[in-house]
Amino acid sequence: MQQRQKKLESFIDTDPKNISWTGELKDDFAKFVIHTFNSDEVVQSMYRPFCKQAYYFNKDLNNRLYQIPKIFPNQNLENLVISVTGIGASKGFSALITDAIPNLHLHDTGQCFPLYTYEKPDPTDQTSLFSSQTGYTKKENIPDTILSDFQTTYQDQNITKEDIFYYIYGILHSPEYKQRFAADLKKMLPRIPYAADFHSFSTAGRNLAQWHLNYENIEPYPLEEFKSELYLEDKDYRVERMKFPNRNKAVDKTTIIYNSKITLSGIPLQAYEYIVNGKPALEWIMERYQLTRDKDSGITNNPNDWSDDPRYIIDLVKRIVRVSVESVKIVNSLPPLNER
C-alpha cells in the first residue's frame, strides 16, 4: 500500500497552481475514475457575512459537503438556513440567515439550521400515487411536536412553523439571551426558551430576515460621495482596497476611502454596533471586497468581476450601512425574555 502511494505521489502533478489534491481525489485517480466539469454545478454561496462567491457544488471535488445536499440539493430548490457560531468558537455568538449555500466559516466553525430539508424519494416505494416534479421530497425541519408545544404554551393555534423559525431568529439576536447564556453558547448549540412575548420576537426575527436576505436590493443608505473628478467613468468605481482615514492620529469610521477618486462619508457610528461573526458587517465588506491573490494557487480574487453593474460595490457599502442601522434598531427594541 505504501509503495503504491509513493508511486502515485511521484506521478501526479502536485503544483497547487493546477490542482489541489485531496485523499479522495487521489483514490479516484488510482481507480481511473474520470471527473468532468459541469457548469450547471457552479452556484452562489454565502462565503462570509453579506459576501457571496461562486462555488462549484460537486461531491467529487468538494470532499466535505456534510448535510448541505439535503438542504440545498440544487440551485432550483429554495431554502432558508440560520447559521450560528459553532461550539468552541473563539468569536462571540451571532446568527445570520441566508438563502444560499453557507461556507463552514460563514460563522466561526458554524452550524446551520434549515427551514426545510430535501430527500430523494425511494424508487422502490410503491405507497404513493404521486411523483415530485423536482425529484425531491420537501420536508419541514420543525417537527409537529414542536409546533404543538408552541401552540399550547402560547394558547394560539394560529402559530405556524414559519412563525417559530423567525421567532428563533429573533431570540438569537436578543442581547439578553446572548449575555445570559454566553458560557453555554461556547459549549453547546443554542437552546431556545419560551419567551413571554412570542409574537414580538417572531415579528422581529421576520423583519431582521427581510433586511438580511434582501441586502442587495434595498435602498442604499444616503452616504455622501466626494469625487475627485466631476465626471466618472465605469472604471472609476472599481475598488482595490477600502480603508478608513486617520484624523488627529485616530481612525475615522464615519468615512471610507473607497478608492483614489471616491470617498464616502456620513456613516453613522451606530452601524458598527451590528456585529456578525466577530466584526461589524460593514467591515466584512471592506475586508472581502478587495483585490487579493492566493500565493499558492496564484488565483486572483477580483471583487469588481462579481457584477456587471459598475456601482455594485459602492452601493453595497451603502446598503450594508442601512442593513446595520435597521438591524440595531430592531435588536434594541426587543422585549425581555421573561421565560415561561
Average pLDDT, the chain: 92
When mean pLDDT is compared across 60-74, 96-110, 239-253, the lowest value belongs to 60-74
Please, which pLDDT band fits residue 133 given cuts at 50, 70 and 90?
low
pLDDT-based confidence at residue 83 (cuts at 50, 70, 90): very high
More confident residue, 198 or 34: 198
- Give 193's contacts (C-beta < 8 A, 6+ positions apart): 171, 177, 337, 339
pLDDT at 332: 98
pLDDT of residue 13: 84
Q: How confident is the model at residue 17 (pLDDT cuts 50, 70, 90)?
A: confident
pTM, 2 dp:
0.92
Q: Dig out the grid coordinates for 164 from the structure.
A: 417559530
pLDDT bin (cut points 50, 70, 90) of residue 125 is low
pLDDT of residue 24: 84
Beta-carbon contacts of residue 100 (< 8 Å; ≥ 6 apart): 43, 44, 45, 46, 52, 72
Task: Write down the pLDDT at residue 143.
Answer: 97
pLDDT of 66: 83
pLDDT tens sequence across 23-62: 788 888 888 889 888 888 899 999 999 999 999 888 888 8
| 121 within 8 A of 112, measured Cβ to Cβ | no
Collect all residues with Cβ–Cβ distance below 8 Å to 104 and sequence separation of at least 6: 64, 110
Q: Is a pLDDT exceeding 60 seen at residue 128?
A: no
Per-residue confidence (pLDDT) for residue 1, from 0 to 100:
57
3-state secondary structure of 144: helix
DSSP 11-71: HS---TTT----HHHHHHHHTT------GGGEEEEEEETTEEEEEE--TTT-S--TTHHHH
Name the pLDDT band for 2 (thresholds 50, 70, 90): low
